[in-house]
C-alpha cells in the first residue's frame, strides 16, 4: 500500500505518519528529512539545496523525483511507502504515478490534514527537538517534564530547525497553499483524497485518519 500524507508544516503530519507506518508496516519517507540528512552529511547536493530550504523555497522537481525514484527502488520500500512532503507539485505527482505504474503499483490513499494558518505559525515557531534522540518538543505545548532535559534520553542538547522562523514559515505556507491547490484536485478526481481536521487532539486526528483505510 502506498499513502501520501499532505499537510502544511506544523500540521502534525509526522506524528500521523509514525502511526500509519507502525500499523501497516510501511516505509516513512519524509523528503524534508532526506534533504536535511543530505545537508548534514556535507555532500555537494546538500550544499546545493541548503540555501533553497533555508529561504523557504522549493527544491527542483527533477532533483526531488530522482531522489524518490532511487529511494523507493530499495528493498525496505517494497511493502509500501508513506510519502510525507512529496509530491509537492503537479509534475512531481505525475512523475510519482509514472514510476509506481512501471512497478505495477499505485497510490492508494491521499490524506490531507487541515489546520488554519494562525495555529500553524504558533506550532512551527515553537517546536524543537532533542539532538541526541530526535524526540520532539514545543515551547508552548509540550515542554519536557524536567526543564531542559529530554524525557526520552536525558540529553540536554536541543535544536530548532533553521527554517522554523516566522518569515520562512510564512513563505513555506504560501508555497504550500499554492501548490496543494494544484495537487489535491488531481487526487480528488481519482477519488483517493480524504481530508481530516488537524486542529483536534492527536488521538482524534489519528482516528479520522484511520477511517480513511
- Tally of CB atoms within 10 A around 106: 13
- Residue count at the site for ligand AMP (CB under 6 A)? 16
* CB-side neighbour CA atoms (13 Å) of 141: 16
Q: Which of 25, 81, 67, 59 is nearest to 172 (CA)?
A: 59
Using rule CB under 6 A, residue 58 touches ligand AMP: yes
Among 88, 109, 123, 127, binds ligand AMP (CB under 6 A): 88
Let me know if 109 is a catalytic residue.
no
**Does the protein bind ligand AMP through residue 110 (CB under 6 A)?**
no
Which of 20, 26, 29, 53 is the binder for ligand AMP (CB under 6 A)?
53
The residue annotated as part of the active site, out of 21, 36, 123, 172, is 172
CB 64, min distance to ligand AMP, A: 4
Residue 71 a catalytic site member: no
Q: Do the beta carbons of residue 30 and residue 37 sit within 8 Å?
A: no
Query: Which residue's CB is nearer to ligand AMP, number 22 or number 62?
Result: 62
Distances 183 to 49, 68, 85, 134, 160 between C-alpha atoms, Å = 23, 17, 12, 30, 29
- Asked if 6 and 180 count as a contact pair (C-beta separation under 8 A), the reply is yes
Q: How far is CA 100 from the centre of its chain?
A: 20
Residue 31 near ligand AMP by CB under 6 A: yes
Contact between 123 and ligand AMP by CB under 6 A: the answer reads no
Q: Which residues bind ligand AMP (CB under 6 A)?
A: 9, 31-32, 35, 52-53, 56-59, 64, 85-86, 88, 92, 172
Amino acid at each position: 500500500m502506498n499513502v501520501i500524507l499532505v499537510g502544511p508544516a506544523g500540521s502534525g503530519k509526522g506524528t500521523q505518519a509514525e502511526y500509519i507506518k507502525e500499523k501497516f508496516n510501511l516505509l516513512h519517507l519524509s523528503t524534508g528529512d532526506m534533504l536535511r540528512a543530505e545537508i548534514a552529511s556535507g555532500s555537494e547536493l546538500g550544499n546545493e539545496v541548503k540555501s533553497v530550504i533555508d529561504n523557504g523555497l522549493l527544491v527542483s522537481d527533477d532533483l526531488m523525483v530522482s531522489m524518490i525514484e532511487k529511494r523507493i527502488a530499495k528493498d525496505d520500500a517494497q511493502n509500501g511507502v508513506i510519502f510525507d512532503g512529496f509530491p509537492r507539485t503537479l509534475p512531481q505527482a505525475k512523475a510519482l504515478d509514472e514510476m509506481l505504474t512501471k512497478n505495477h503499483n499505485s497510490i492508494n490513499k491521499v490524506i490531507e490534514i487541515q489546520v488554519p494558518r494562525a495555529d500553524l505559525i504558533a506550532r512551527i515557531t515553537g517546536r524543537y527537538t532533542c539532538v541526541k534522540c530526535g524526540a520532539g518538543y514545543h515551547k508552548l505545548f509540550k515542554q519536557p517534564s524536567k526543564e531542559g532535559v529530554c524525557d526520552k534520553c536525558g540529553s540536554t542538547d536541543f535544536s530548532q530547525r533553521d527554517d522554523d522562523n516566522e518569515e520562512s514559515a510564512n513563505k513555506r505556507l504560501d508555497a504550500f497553499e499554492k501548490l496543494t491547490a494544484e495537487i489535491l484536485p488531481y487526487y480528488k478526481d481519482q477519488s483517493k483524497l480524504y481530508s481530516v481536521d488537524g486542529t483536534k487532539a492527536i488521538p482524534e486526528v489519528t482516528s479520522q485518519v484511520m477511517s480513511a483505510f
